[in-house]
Structure 1
Amino acid sequence: MMQRMQNSDQLLLPGGETTERQLTLVIWATTEKKLEFKPLPGFDPNFDNLQYYRAQQKIDCDEVYPGIYIGDGVTAKNKEYLKMLGITHLLNVAEGKRYGFVNTDNNYYADTTIKYLGLPVTDLPSADINKYFYIAANFIDEAVSLGGKAFVHCMQGISRSATCVLAYLMIKKNMLATDAMHLVRTNRDIHPNNGFLRQLAELDNKLRRQRLR
């Protein structure tokens, strides 16, 4: 049995192994293309009102896949905006009280109908984010499967949160890492750190091998 598992883990992948460099190249390639201007989710770009305009200044949020939004920690604390969007599930991939984290928890959203999940991930290449890939993917998938909306965030909505959304697309939507990266980056300027890219590449190779069995 062990021999069989070892052989399956060593299956040669068509086109070779996915690497951190390949994902980095996708980031570079999409950086050269200017993102089209898109209005903030939940706001009407044709509504001309100063107060309405000012309300948008503190919002950082993009819909990167139907029903899935990535944003920053400030926006995540804006419960009025989350309600306006119709958010049902909120994933904080930077839960904590230290610098670089977002200090929210279940209690913060107790006066809403939002289901909350917090993951204490540090935005460092050495951080072991892959242990949360399936937890995050299942949480996001629950929102989408029930017809709800998931808001995924970290401090800036660039690295930790983006990595978890990419893992969701790979695990639940059977997307290749490069395709998932391209899709999300056409909707938001994400930059997972090098360590997270490596772990996403490893996840991609694992999932690709599973599909070959």
Structure 2
Amino acid sequence: MRRDPRTNSTTDRTSCPITPSLFLSGADAPLNRALMTHKGITLIVNATLSLSCPTYPGVECVRVAVPDLPTARLSEHFDRVAARIHNNQAGGTLVHCAAGMSRSPALVMAYLMKYKGVTLCQAHHWVRQRRPFIRLNAGFWDQLLDYEKRLYGKNTTERKMQCSLEVREERNMKY
């Protein structure tokens, strides 16, 4: 990992496979055209405010312009992004944010709950097993809890992240 001068965040050059056709990364992976071709990526979900979407032939980019702040309403994009991932039959999907630690993992967990039928704890474990350094901010965790309740009629965990060792408790910290 290295510090990205554009975002002042730590990024990882690798994309982590979540399913055979779904990948999670920081900001560097979508800039690697050879990697995108090798993984068969035909859809990029860009969950950053200002990083541009690369333009590659046959690759569509969906923008989710939400800051990585606990007060940001990422949940407004859960259904739309999950449906786009699910309906991308043409190839692989890469979901990324600046560091691949908070926004993009939250979007991937929403997809896993909606289309793979798993609980929030199961989705969190699934993603964390494949990308161990994820750290959702507390606001996104709360939004995922609300989404789980909407999908399944109940929550399978508490408001505090109990299916993980880590959560950002800082409610107003900028990332």
Whether the TM-score (by the shorter chain) exceeds 0.5 is yes
C-alpha deviations, 1:148-200, integer Å up to 9, x for none? 21000000111000000000011112211011111111111211110000000
Specify the SS of the correspondent of 2:147: helix
More RCO (CA 8 Å, sep 6+): 1
Q: Which residue of 2 aligns with 1:123?
A: 68
- The whole-number CA distance in structure 1 between the counterparts of 2:36 and 2:20 is 16
Cα distance, 1:142 vs structure 2: 1.4
Q: Which amino acid counterpart does residue 116 of structure 1 have in structure 2?
A: C
Q: Of the candidates 21, 31, 46, which is equivalent to residue 77 of structure 1? A: 31
Identity score, percent: 28
Counting only pairs closer than 5 Å after superposition, residues 48-59 of structure 1 correspond to structure 2 as 59=13
Question: How far did residue 116 of structure 1 move?
Answer: 1.0
- Write 1 or 2 for the structure with the bigger share of helix: 1
Equivalent of 2:52 in 86, 101, 104: 104
1:139 equivalent in alignment to 2:93: no
Contact 1:65 1:184 in 2 (8 A): no
Q: 2:135 aligns with which of 169, 185, 191?
A: 191
- Please list every run of 5 or more consecutive structure 2 residues that lacks an aligned counterpart in the other structure: 1-11, 155-175
- Tell whether 2:103 aligns with 1:160: yes
Which is greater in Rg? 1
Cα distance in 1 for residues equivalent to 2:96 and 2:30: 7
Tell whether the 8 Å contact from 1:88 to 1:114 is kept in structure 2 after alignment. yes
Partners of 1:81 and 1:65 in 2: CA distance: 16
Q: Distance in 2 between matches of 1:115 and 1:66?
A: 19
Paired with 2:119 and 2:150, the residues of 1 have a C-alpha distance of: 11
Structure with higher strand content: 2
Summarize the Cα distance change of 1:161–1:172 in structure 2 as closer, same or farther, 3 Å threshold: same
- Residues in 2 aligned to 1:65 and 1:184: alpha-carbon distance in whole angstroms: 10
3-state SS of the aligned residue for 1:186? helix
* Counterpart in the other structure of 1:174: 117
The answer on 1:205 being equivalent to 2:172 is: no
Q: Distance in 2 between matches of 1:63 and 1:175?
A: 17
- Determine if the alignment matches structure 1 residue 93 to structure 2 residue 38: no
User: Aligned AA for 1:129?
Assistant: L
Letter in 1 for 2:27: G
The amino acid of 2:81's aligned partner reads A
RMSD of the TM alignment (CA)?
1.5
After TM superposition, what 4+ stretches of structure 1 lie above 6 angstroms from structure 2?
Answer: none
Structure 1-normalised TM-score?
A: 0.63
